[in-house]
Amino acid sequence: MVNIFITSLIAIFVSNSPFSQDTIQSKNSIVLSMNAEMSKLDFFHNIQVNTELYNLLSLEASVGVNVNKTYFQRSFAPQFSIGIGYDLLKSKNRWKLIPMIKSRTTMIDLSESSRLRYLEGSVGYSLAYGEKWYVTQGAFIGRGKEWYNTIDSQVNYWAYSFYFGFGYEF
């Protein structure tokens, strides 16, 4: 029984370790995608990059804009996010299911002299289907904070977001 356990541990180490032969030989893919996101704060339009770290962890970073503020109110409101997760369906099929923790920040200029800043931390999943072209979807829930001009936090709130997009693997 102990032997089976130790053998299993070695097998996991050999197949997933950053130092394993498999990792050294594998190619690090980059998926570039565009998505539309609905969140507690507003609608966003993002460009997202997904890649793998040591063939073990999945990294996600995105830049985007608040659609209503930027396109329809001509007040540039950017958003940045970064997330890290693990692909549960690794190399199994065309699906990627990545439970993920994510942090994102955005800001809105209320006037020339005052700005609202937001920081959110959330957990959720990122789902992708495809080979070269991917359809992506994700949902997150967490907590957020808003700052208004000063460094004092104005309010804490429940944050949520849901996105849908498509991407291409390079």
Q: Applying CB under 8 A, which residues contact another protein?
A: 40-42, 68-69, 71-75, 108-112, 114, 116, 146, 148, 154-155, 157-158
Residue 7: CB minimum distance to another protein, A = 48
116 class by beta-carbon count within 10 Å (0-12 exposed, 13-18 middle, 19+ buried): middle
Cβ-based nearer residue to another protein, 3 or 113: 113
User: Which is nearer to another protein, 27 or 74 (by Cβ)?
Assistant: 74
Per the DSSP assignment, residues forming a β-bridge with 6 are none
Shortest distance, position 75 Cβ to another protein, whole Å: 5
Count of CB atoms within 10 A of residue 119's CB?
A: 16
Q: Single out the residue of 59, 54, 51, 57 nearest to residue 17, CA to CA.
A: 54
Q: Which of 117, 121, 122, 124 is nearest to 155 (CA)?
A: 117
Minimum CB distance to another protein smaller for 94 or for 143: 143
Smallest distance, another protein to C-beta of residue 155, A: 5
- Which CB, 98 or 108, lies closer to another protein? 108
Within 10 angstroms of residue 159's Cβ, the number of other Cβ atoms is 20
CB of 53 to another protein, least distance (A): 32
Q: By C-beta, is 31 or 41 nearer to another protein?
A: 41
Task: State the nearest-atom distance from the C-beta of 90 to another protein, in Å.
Answer: 31
SS3 of 2-19: the string is HHHHHHHHHHHHHHHCCC
